[in-house]
A and B are shown apart, each in its own frame.
Chain A
Amino acid sequence: MLILENVDAHYGKAHVLHGVSIEVRAGEVVGLLGRNGVGKTTTLKAIMGMARRTGGRITFEGRDLQGVPPHGLAGRGIAWVPEERRIFRLLTVLENLRTGLDRPGITPARRDALLEKVYAYFPILRERRNQAGGTLSGGEQQMLAIARAMVLEPKIILLDEPTEGLMPRMVAQIQEIVHALHRDGVAILLVEQNVPLTLDAAGRVYIMEKGTVRHHASAAELRADQRVIHEYLGV
């Protein structure tokens, strides 16, 4: 469904991605592991058209994403949950969700159903719906960031380090949500530092180093033989 072929990307003059090739099939959870600064986040930004792509091809459902404006990706079914969460801090929780709900072609009934759905997943967001996004705790902001992506009814969610800096209880909740999304048939490209979580949630895993993919295996293989993980991630 989402295919990256030999993608090169630059930040200013820095050459960050060197020929990254990744594939995510419909409904699949794919992990992207690697140390800090190896280009995982940049890979997601390249998909979102936010990093300057200088080579290679990115296609989604067979269509090249080159030339698609950044605001056209949500409508095609690609949602992004950035590492920094990027909650609209001065907007209330409900208004944050409305940025994704108030889109053309959605019926009021569908809109309400989606809102109910994310409130069912994250009851705390219903409680805090009239509170400014910036006043939420880190874990609540992460939930809001995921909920905001969910209301777009995406085919794939690019999930960037969703458990970074969260308490263990919150990590477990995020893990539960990833499973739930998977059951709903949403594909996920999961960037993580948390190896056990990634091996648990993902079907396949790519390991990146120095701006390129070094290793690709099923999560089951990696669980059985952790030497590769140790080699590239040092854990």
Chain B
Amino acid sequence: MDQIIIQTLHGLVNGMVLAMVASGLTLIFGIMDIVNFAHGDLLMLGAFVGASVVGTTGNYWLALIVAAIVIAILGALLQITTLRPLIGRDPLTTILATFGISLVIQKYALWQWGPSVRQISEPVRGDFTLFHLQYPWYRIATAILAALIISGLWLFLKYGKYGIWIRATTQDRVMAQAMGIPVPLVYTGVFALGSAMAAASGVLFGPFAGVTQTMGFDFTVRAFVVVVVGGLGNLGGSILASIFISLLESYAAIVVSPAQAVIVSFVVLVLTMLFRPTGLFVPTPK
């Protein structure tokens, strides 16, 4: 019983971070139909930028903001230089392009920061005791912060002027243009926003396991699983799927080792593709 409660907490915390990563990815996919294989690497780069800022200033919150801004600018530049010229081409070309970007970012990180693990010290210290087990407050703080950021994104999309632009463009790009919405700018903005979300997730996750140049790929894969399970391009679905899959993995970790528990998410992915390819968390189309 103790273990179930601990693992539930664990699953929820991981789920919130994953939801943040996935929401950036699903936003980009939903509007541009771009499968962004570099998403996890933008997260990794954000984590390194964050680690550097923490290293020089010691201020974690500043690091979170700086990383988000730096990676947002990088994302915007990547979109303009690499992806904008590919709009309207075979989707495979964008997949290859983002895969290329992914490799470039990884090699850059290796060159710049080396192969060793960098630590980001957590801004919230201390543990609390839960059934004879020490649980770090930082993880709780991370989950709450991730939830706040996701809520902020949701409110922005729901009520903000640019949020309406984004949703209108997602639904009908041609009509959005006819209404005077500058669609190319919306694309760049969404890519920047998604990149910033990835970078912030990287800084939030950094203190959990350290920052390495290979951490991105793992996040890309996990985020893709939840984006597909949640229903491609569906923000709410991705968030629910993140929590669902992270909880499943946590519970599986009670029985098998955590490394094997990851398999559960791929099983869910395959089952979803087989039996409900539009996604688990989308309403059945009327």
Is A82 interfacial (CB-CB < 8 Å)?
A: yes
Q: Which of A68-107 contact B (CB under 8 A)?
A: 69-75, 79-80, 82, 86, 88-91, 95-96, 98-100, 102-103
If the complex has contacts A90-B167, A99-B165, A99-B168, are A50 and B174 also in contact, measured as CB distance less than 8 A? yes
Q: How far is the CA of A75 from the CA of B182 in the complex (A)?
A: 11
Q: Give complex CA distance A117, B135 in Å.
A: 59
Residue numbers in B under 8 Å from A98 (CB-CB): 161, 164
A102 with B178, Cβ < 8 A, contacts A88-B167, A90-B171 known: no
Residues in chain A near residue B184, CB distance under 8 A:
69
Q: Which residues of B contact A (CB under 8 A)?
A: 161, 164-165, 167-168, 171-172, 174-184
Pick from A69, A73, A91, A152: contact of B168, CB below 8 A.
A91
Q: Is A53 an interface residue (CB 8 A)?
A: no
- In the bound assembly, the distance between CA atoms of A80 and B174 in angstroms comes to 11
Q: Given contacts A99-B164, A99-B165, is CB(A152)–CB(B180) below 8 Å?
A: yes
Q: How far is the CA of A71 from the CA of B171 in the complex (A)?
A: 16
With a cutoff of 8 Å between Cβ atoms, the chain B residues found around residue A80 in the complex are 178
Asked if A73 meets B171 with Cβ closer than 8 Å, knowing A98-B161, A102-B164, the reply is no
Q: CB distance A100 to B167 under 8 Å?
A: no
A69 to B184, CA, bound (A): 10
Which residue in chain A gives the minimum CB-CB distance to B178? A80
Cα–Cα distance between A48 and B176 once the two chains are bound (Å): 12
Q: Return the chain A residue nearest B160 by Cβ.
A: A102
In this assembly, does A148 line the interface, its C-beta being within 8 Å of a C-beta of chain B?
A: yes
Residues from chain A with Cβ under 8 Å of B164 in the complex: 91, 95, 98-99, 102
A74:B171 contact, CB within 8 angstroms: no
Q: Judging by beta carbons under 8 Å apart, are B172 and A88 in contact?
A: yes
Q: List, in ascending order, chain A residues with CB within 8 A of B175's CB.
A: 82, 86, 88
- Give the complex CA separation of A79 and B171 in angstroms: 19
Would you call B178 and A74 a contact (CB within 8 A)? yes
Complex Cα distance, B179 from A75, in Å, reads 9
CA–CA, A98 to B182, complex, Å? 14
For this complex, 19 residue pairs linking A to B, each with C-beta atoms less than 8 Å apart, are: A48-B178, A50-B174, A69-B177, A69-B182, A70-B174, A70-B177, A70-B178, A70-B183, A71-B176, A82-B175, A86-B175, A89-B171, A91-B164, A91-B167, A96-B168, A98-B164, A99-B176, A100-B179, A148-B179
Measured CA separation A80–B181 after assembly (Å): 13
Known A82-B175, A88-B168, A99-B176: A71·B183 in contact at CB below 8 Å: yes
* Chain B residues, Cβ within 8 Å of A70: 174, 177-178, 183
Instruction: Determine the distance from Cα of A50 to Cα of B161 in the docked complex, in whole angstroms.
Output: 25
| Residue numbers in B under 8 Å from A72 (CB-CB) | 180
Smallest Cβ distance from A18 to chain B, in angstroms? 24
Shortest Cβ distance from B210 into chain A, in angstroms?
A: 41
**Contact partners of B168 in chain A: CB under 8 A:** 88, 91, 95-96, 99
B160, chain A: closest CB distance, angstroms? 9
Complex Cα distance, B182 from A73, in Å, reads: 11
- In the assembled complex, the Cα of A103 lies from the Cα of B162 at a distance in Å of 10
Chain A residues positioned under 8 Å from B177 (CB to CB): 69-71
CB closest residue in chain A, given B174: A50
Q: Separation in Å of the A201 CB from the closest CB of chain B?
A: 22
**A99 contacts which of B174, B179, B182 (Cβ < 8 Å)?**
B179
Assembled-state Cα–Cα distance A99/B183 (Å): 12
Determine which residue in A69, A98, A99, A102 has the highest number of CB atoms from chain B within 10 A of its CB, and name it.
Answer: A99
Q: A70-B183, A71-B178, A95-B167 provided; 11 other pairs, C-beta below 8 A? A: A69-B182, A71-B180, A82-B178, A88-B167, A88-B168, A88-B172, A90-B171, A96-B168, A98-B161, A99-B165, A152-B180
A91/B182 in contact, CB under 8 A: no
Greatest chain A CB density within 10 A among B165, B172, B176, B179 is at: B179
Q: How far is the CB of A218 from chain B (nearest CB, A)?
A: 30
Across the interface, name the chain A residue whose C-beta is closest to B180. A74
Give A48 to B177 CA distance when docked, in angstroms. Answer: 10
Q: Using A91-B164, A95-B164 as known contacts, say yes or no to A100 and B180 having CB atoms under 8 A apart.
A: yes
